[in-house]
Amino acid sequence: MDEEKAEAKRRPGKKSKAPSSRDVEHSGFVGAQADLEPSIGPDGELYEHEVTVEGEPTPIEEKLETGEELTPDPTAAAFFDVDNTLIQGASILLLARGLARHKFFTTRDVATMIWQQAKFRVSGRESMSDVASGREKALSFVKGRAVREVEELSTAIFDESIADRFWPGTKALAQMHIDAGQQVWLVTATPVELANVIAERLGLTGALGTVAEREDGVYTGRMVGDILHGSGKAHAVKELARTKGLDLSKCYAYSDSSNDLPMLSLVAHPVAVNPDTALRDAARENGWQIKDYRTMRRAAKIGLQGTAVAAAAGGAVAVWKRRS
């Protein structure tokens, strides 16, 4: 019966039973929302993150809610997209800006990447020609450069520009799977050097990213395999499942983009996080859970000292909304 339910969730067009409407406020909710800490806004006010959730809890969340003991399962895993799912913004752009600051290449090159990212923001979809062009340009930048140099710069850029850009709710979801004894993998088009740093800092199992060929510690300017984008991610997850002995009927996937529908459709428990319009529509059609962490509300005015205490205590309030 469990296998039938898992298969039903994977089949496109299969609608699940609509949940009843209810709003439940959790203060210090133990589970996937526990990391939603208050933040100081640009106006100096304290803001509370507000999470909107549509759909039924995933199996792991149901167990947490009922207090059922979680048994580690080496055949279960969670796959996380990075850009706008785990971190705010595009990791490749943050990496490019950082490399420019470190004189790795010019700010004009970064401007080209910004333009391509802006087109994606407006259209909601990446052009494959832009993806291919960006790939070739990126490889031309690293050709002849030492791998160690890029790895060291990736670590520095993470600390400078990325460490404080995580969506707290998504970060908590990853930790939820780690605490449950499951593997957690990043699956991203960003260079694997940066993806590995992110995974290592979060204590994840590992990362699948775009791989530039290297010989004798130097980049050749060629790519190993294809860029991890769209169907490329699904193929990479299938191969990882084969080599690691993972059971996709027990696995989860999280993404913000309709480009990742192939990966999301591959697992039993797909979740749309901060979804674009097309992914939100697909998630509703298929009965997938939707989590949106992009809104914040102003909290009651308190002094900076009180703010620090509140943040340290982790006393954020997450609003759990299920819409029928």
Strand order in the sheet with 289-298: 39-40, 46-54, 289-298, 269-273, 252-255, 77-80, 183-191, 206-215, 218-224
Residue 113 in tokens: 């990447």
- The 10s digit of each residue's pLDDT in 68-100 is 988 999 999 999 999 999 999 888 888 888 888
Residue 36, token pair as written in the block: 């939603």
pLDDT in tens, 10-52: 433 333 333 322 222 222 222 334 344 555 555 556 666 678 9
Q: What is the mean pLDDT of the chain?
A: 76
3-state secondary structure (DSSP) of residue 88: coil
Query: Which positions are annotated as active-site residues?
Result: 81, 83
Q: What is the CA radius of gyration of the chain?
A: 20
Digit-coded pLDDT (tens) for 127-184: 454 455 555 555 666 788 899 998 999 999 999 989 999 999 999 999 999 999 999 9
Phi, psi of 14 (to 5 degrees): -85, 120
**Range of 63-67, 137-141, 207-211, 239-243 with top mean pLDDT:** 239-243
